[in-house]
Chain A
Amino acid sequence: MISGKVWKYGQNVNTDAIYPAKYLVHFEPEEVVRHVMEGLDPEFIAKAKPGDIIVAGDNFGCGSAREQAAMAIKLAQIGAVVADSFNRTFYRNAINNALPVIALKGISKEIAEGDEIEIDMETGKIIDHTIGKQWSAVPTPGFILDILNMGGAIAYYRGKIGH
């Protein structure tokens, strides 16, 4: 179970909003995390607490394939991202970086900023404790749960490289 307080964003949050292109040359974790959501909400890094959850509309993470977008959110210790839908490359990058992401059409209209919500990746259940409502998203496939639980795709594949 993942639970936390919600920060709310809109539709088509692109990778430039999550991690501006001018920082693409950086892959160092200390530097990457400093710019999380900077293109959209420069205050985010100061106000978000470990375990908080981002909720957004359709196509979260659209734009470029840059992996720093997912890395930055993970490094900021955000508990999960819930969105109406995700851009597919962002979705992969999130899973590979052990950032839980779950999609449910229309969810961004239901949950408000500041709500306390809870997510069960395994069953797909999303509960909003503030308004006392719950919804069911598609349960996360076992393979993806394994990657998340192992701490990301590098850890998952590390033992599987045959030499």
Chain B
Amino acid sequence: MGLTMVEKILAGHAGLDRVEPGQIVEAGVDVVMLHDVGTPGIQRPFKELGAERIADNIDCVIIPDHFVPAPTVQAAENLKITREFAERMGVKHYYELGRGGICHQVMVEQGHVLPGQIIVAPDSHATTYGACGALGTGLGVTDAAIALAAGKLWFRVPETVKIVLNGKLGRFVSAKDVALFLLKEFGESRLIYKAVEMTGPVIDGMSLESRECMADMALEMGVKACLFAPDAQTMSFLRQRAAQVPEPVLADPDAAYEEVLTFDLSDLSPVVAAPHSPSNGKPVGEVAGIRIQQAFLGSCTNGRLEDLRLAAEMLQGRTVHDGVRLIVTPASQAIYRQAIAEGLIQVFLSAGAFVTNPTCGACVGGHLGLIASGEVCISSSNRNFQGRMGSRDGQIYLASPAVVVASAMAGEIADPRTFDGGEPK
């Protein structure tokens, strides 16, 4: 029997010919990503381990993003701890404010994620790295400290589920809608512990950015990892960013999957996840008409160039509804610069949007866009848990960038497909 992508990656890093689901292995880790919450968090376990430096085989990347620029003194102290740790450990890849952006986006965009690698982070959405065929997974600060100090970590080999997505997505139906649809199908617990491999014509037709969105959002299904086989597009993207790109680790043709689940998505409508769970998805029609006060376009899920380009195309020559504030947060400085170069930011500003620096801010409910009691926000981020974006008495709906922008213009949750050729019908 052949091996799945994750089985091959784990076997390779554990020095074994093969591994079985359920087996516990100790595997070498390639990259540890830390941000301004995780870096302060690992200080104690790192010290308790008796560690003085980072293991030689570990490429450590530090990207402050959660509370930047510091909204409180406590955040400033954490950023200081983060900066000083990077300095003390001689971390080569430290992204000072203004030079990085949201961690998962910067990781992929700057070529820190390569096919076949094992990358861990004290941040759950490290699954994003699966878009490039790496095993990316989030864990706690103790694990992150061990990985940094010992260069290896224990892993339980997950069962792999293959998801085959057939058909062709309609206009204004995006990767985010596919992810929200899958979450609705599977709920928050059906796929816990599993590694998921995403394949099929829908995936083949997706940009790398869209795959990042799906791999990011898949975490909400409880998966350990969500992998996409790198194709020519991914490999050429990576070759422009990294000195040496290893050959992709692909599943064997006779790999043993726990399940193969097939869907046809040709008729998929935009999906909106109603409060307070990402798995509470509904076709946009069912929630259309709900009044909103805030619309948020950003986060590591949907703050990428393709998202901003689509948003600008929809907003060109139009304005945000009087009763709504549209907050736009580019996911990285590189995206921000490119969006300025392409005139996208100008379109947002002219439409009356509020554009922020790249940060986790509104997504994590930290700063730059909290909601008040009784307010409703439609958000392109990945979590709508109660209280996530501010008041526990606020309501968060999750949706694609197209739905967020259509709603921002309409003042209520709206179906972007009613904009034909850009004109509201």
Is there a chain A Cβ closer than 8 Å to B33's Cβ?
Answer: no
> Contact between B139 and A89 (Cβ–Cβ < 8 Å)?
yes
In the assembled complex, the CB of B127 is this many whole angstroms from the nearest CB of chain A, namely 11
> Contact between B142 and A87 (Cβ–Cβ < 8 Å)?
no
Is there a chain A Cβ closer than 8 Å to B141's Cβ?
Answer: yes
In the assembled complex, the CB of B79 is this many whole angstroms from the nearest CB of chain A, namely 13
Is there a chain A Cβ closer than 8 Å to B130's Cβ?
Answer: no
Most buried by B among A67, A70, A143, A152: A67
In the assembled complex, the CB of B254 is this many whole angstroms from the nearest CB of chain A, namely 27
> Contact between A158 and B48 (Cβ–Cβ < 8 Å)?
yes
> Contact between A96 and B140 (Cβ–Cβ < 8 Å)?
yes
> Contact between A65 and B123 (Cβ–Cβ < 8 Å)?
yes
Which residues in chain B, 150-202, are within 8 Å of chain A measured between CB atoms? 150, 154, 156, 188-189, 192-193
In the assembled complex, the CB of B203 is this many whole angstroms from the nearest CB of chain A, namely 24
Residues in A with CB closer than 8 Å to B150 are 157, 160-161
> Contact between B138 and A65 (Cβ–Cβ < 8 Å)?
yes
Q: Which of A2-10, A40-48, A55-63, A111-119 contacts B (4 or more CB under 8 A)?
A: A55-63
> Contact between B51 and A67 (Cβ–Cβ < 8 Å)?
no
Q: Interface residue count for A (Cβ, 8 Å)?
A: 39
> What residue in chain A is nearest B126 (Cβ atoms)?
A65
Residues in B with CB closer than 8 Å to A154 are 45, 48-49, 142, 145-146
In the assembled complex, the CB of A105 is this many whole angstroms from the nearest CB of chain B, namely 11
Residues in A with CB closer than 8 Å to B101 are none
Is there a chain B Cβ closer than 8 Å to A97's Cβ?
Answer: yes
Is there a chain A Cβ closer than 8 Å to B304's Cβ?
Answer: no
> Contact between B124 and A89 (Cβ–Cβ < 8 Å)?
yes
In the assembled complex, the CB of A78 is this many whole angstroms from the nearest CB of chain B, namely 18
Residues in B with CB closer than 8 Å to A143 are 24, 26, 154
Is there a chain A Cβ closer than 8 Å to B212's Cβ?
Answer: no
**Which of A21, A24, A62 is B188 in contact with, Cβ under 8 Å?**
A62
Residues in A with CB closer than 8 Å to B224 are 88
Is there a chain B Cβ closer than 8 Å to A64's Cβ?
Answer: yes
Which residues in chain A, 63-111, are within 8 Å of chain B measured between CB atoms? 63-67, 70, 85-89, 92-93, 96-97
In the assembled complex, the CB of B250 is this many whole angstroms from the nearest CB of chain A, namely 24
- Can you offer 11 A-B residue contacts whose CB atoms are under 8 A? A27-B44, A58-B189, A85-B192, A89-B138, A96-B140, A143-B24, A143-B26, A144-B24, A147-B154, A153-B142, A153-B154
Apart from the given pairs A158-B48, A163-B53, 12 other A-B contacts in the complex at a CB distance below 8 Å = A24-B37, A58-B189, A59-B222, A62-B189, A89-B124, A96-B143, A96-B146, A97-B142, A141-B24, A147-B154, A153-B154, A163-B52
